[in-house]
């Protein structure tokens, strides 16, 4: 049996999940390939018995580069795929969003899984509510999930259609379902802060260009080109060693306590279901010290 897992991961959480799922599939089938999304363009997925696609939740859905990846797939009628995600406080309908897009390609989404992960956003404080995740016990479950996907895909191919279990919207709050629409590709450029490179601070190291997942940055252009196309991952701003990528984060910082109040409701509900465990004291989160301020302080230390 042939299987491949395609993953987009920037800070390693989804990659950890992918590696453990891969381990589970390999335990059943002997092997399973693991490929980064940016290298997956040339794969002929029709040749595989089982494919997994995973990413972080960005704005309650899959990042736009993952959307583009799915949209570019050929028709794959009847092929068995599963989807997975890592996320911070509220993943929203990310899994459903991916599954619906894959269904449009004729794919049968036979299962899904997810884990909590630490989150780094310039306008939010760090540590955050999910710092300390993913937990080892959640990753162990991911390995079991991989085994189940391998076994189920064989049974489903042999006609046991009742094993098909696509993701659902159970436990996803209304606001997060609306964010999938409210934070669409068309709307994001209108509401997100614009980045600018402070050329007095930039040392031309090229790190932002290398880390941008969509080739959205050209540091050698005059003026440097940044943020077009963009998936609003903030990787460039977060990783610049000189803090030279600047943006007016004040509006987002102001919204943080309100957003976190909603996140806490989601996390407490997940805690009550036995699906989440706080590894930091939620009362210790310092909204006056967002990540972008912490980074400048660290640079100047
Ligand atoms: C730009 C951005 C948007 C995010 N949006 C959400 C979100 O809507 N819901 C959520 O639960 N986590 C959100 N997160 C947190 C990530 O999903 C989480 O950190 C994830 O584990 C990162 O995966 P990675 O380590 O594989 O890159 C966001 C993170 C970033 C950087
Ligand atoms: S990462 Fe920062 S310092 Fe390096 S090229 Fe980009 S903007 Fe300049
Ligand atoms: S320009 Fe920056 S925020 Fe936009 S996709 Fe590239 S790294 Fe992410």
pLDDT, tens only, 181-221: 899 999 999 999 999 999 999 999 999 999 999 999 999 99
Q: DSSP string spanning the chain?
A: --EEEEE--SSSHHHHHHHHHHHHHHHHHS--EEEEGGG-TT--GGG-SEEEEEEE-BTTB--HHHHHHHHTS---TT-EEEEEEEESS--TTHHHHHHHHHHHTT-EEEEEEEEE-----TTSBSS-TTTTPSPHHHHHHHHHHHHHHHHHHHHHHTT-GGG------TT--HHHHHHHHHT-TTTHHHHSPPPEE-TTT-----HHHHH-TT---BTTSSSPB-SSS-----HHHHH-TT--EE---HHHHHHHHHHHHHHHHHHHHHHHTTS---SS-GGG--TTSBHHHHHHHHHH-
Is 82 domain-assigned? yes
Is 161 domain-assigned? yes
Average of per-residue pLDDT across 19-33: 98
Q: Which atom of ligand 2 is nearest to the CA of 209?
A: 6
pLDDT of residue 227: 86
Q: What is the mean pLDDT of the chain?
A: 96
Q: Which atom of ligand 1 is nearest to the CA of 57?
A: 17
Q: Which of 227, 244, 246 to mutate to test the pocket of ligand 3 (most atoms within 8 A of CB)?
A: 227
Q: What is the band of 223 on the pLDDT scale with cuts at 50, 70, 90?
A: confident
Pocket of ligand 2 (CB under 6 A): 197, 202-208, 219, 240, 242, 244-245
pLDDT of residue 228: 85
- Using the predicted structure, report yes or no on whether residue 168 has a pLDDT greater than 90: yes
Average of per-residue pLDDT across 39-51: 97
Is 214 domain-assigned? no
pLDDT of residue 211: 96
What residue numbers bound the domain in which 93 lies? 3-173
Is 208 domain-assigned? no
- Using the predicted structure, report yes or no on whether residue 79 has a pLDDT greater than 90: yes
Ligand of minimum distance to the alpha carbon of 114: 1
Instruction: Look at the chain and report how many structural domains it folds into.
Output: 1
Is 55 domain-assigned? yes
Cβ neighbours of residue 186 closer than 8 Å, sequence gap 6 or more? none
Q: Which atom of ligand 2 is nearest to the CA of 236?
A: 1
Is 299 domain-assigned? no
d(CA 81, CA 50): 6
For ligand 2, atom 3, name the residue with the nearest CA.
202
Q: Which of 212, 225, 226, 245 to mutate to test the pocket of ligand 3 (most atoms within 8 A of CB)?
A: 212
pLDDT in tens, 245-282: 999 999 999 999 999 999 999 999 999 999 999 999 99
Is 164 domain-assigned? yes
287 CA to middle of ligand 3, Å? 24
User: Nearest CA to 228 among 237, 238, 220, 218?
Assistant: 218
Is 33 domain-assigned? yes
pLDDT of residue 64: 97
For ligand 1, atom 20, name the residue with the nearest CA.
87
Q: CATH number, domain at 26?
A: 3.40.50.360
């Amino acid at each position: 049996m042939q299987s491949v897992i395609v993953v987009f991961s920037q800070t390693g959480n989804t990659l950890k999940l992918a590696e453990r799922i891969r381990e589970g599939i390999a335990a059943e089938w002997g092997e399973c390939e693991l490929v980064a999304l940016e290298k997956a363009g040339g794969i002929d997925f029709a040749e595989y018995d089982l494919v997994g696609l995973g990413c972080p939740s960005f704005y309650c859905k899959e990042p736009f580069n993952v959307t583009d990846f799915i949209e570019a797939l050929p028709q794959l009628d009847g092929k068995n795929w599963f989807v997975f995600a890592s996320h911070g406080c509220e993943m929203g309908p990310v899994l459903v969003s991916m599954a619906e897009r894959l269904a449009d390609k004729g794919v049968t989404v036979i299962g899904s899984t997810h884990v909590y992960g630490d989150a780094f956003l310039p306008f939010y404080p760090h540590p955050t509510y999910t710092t300390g995740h993913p937990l080892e016990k959640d990753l162990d479950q991911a390995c079991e999930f991989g085994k189940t996907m391998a076994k189920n895909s064989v049974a489903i191919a042999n006609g046991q259609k009742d094993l098909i279990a696509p993701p659902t919207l159970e436990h996803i709050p209304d606001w997060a379902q609306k964010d999938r629409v409210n934070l669409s590709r068309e709307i994001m450029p209108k509401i997100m802060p614009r980045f600018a490179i402070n050329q007095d601070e930039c040392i031309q190291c090229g790190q932002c260009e290398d880390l941008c997942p969509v080739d959205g940055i050209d540091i050698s252009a005059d003026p440097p080109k940044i943020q077009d196309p963009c998936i609003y991952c903030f990787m460039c701003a977060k990783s610049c060693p000189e803090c030279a990528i600047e943006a007016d984060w004040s509006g987002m910082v102001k919204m943080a306590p309100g957003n976190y109040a909603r996140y806490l409701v989601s996390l407490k509900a997940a805690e009550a279901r036995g699906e989440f465990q706080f590894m930091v004291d939620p009362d210790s989160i310092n909204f006056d010290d967002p990540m972008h301020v912490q980074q400048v302080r660290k640079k100047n230390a």
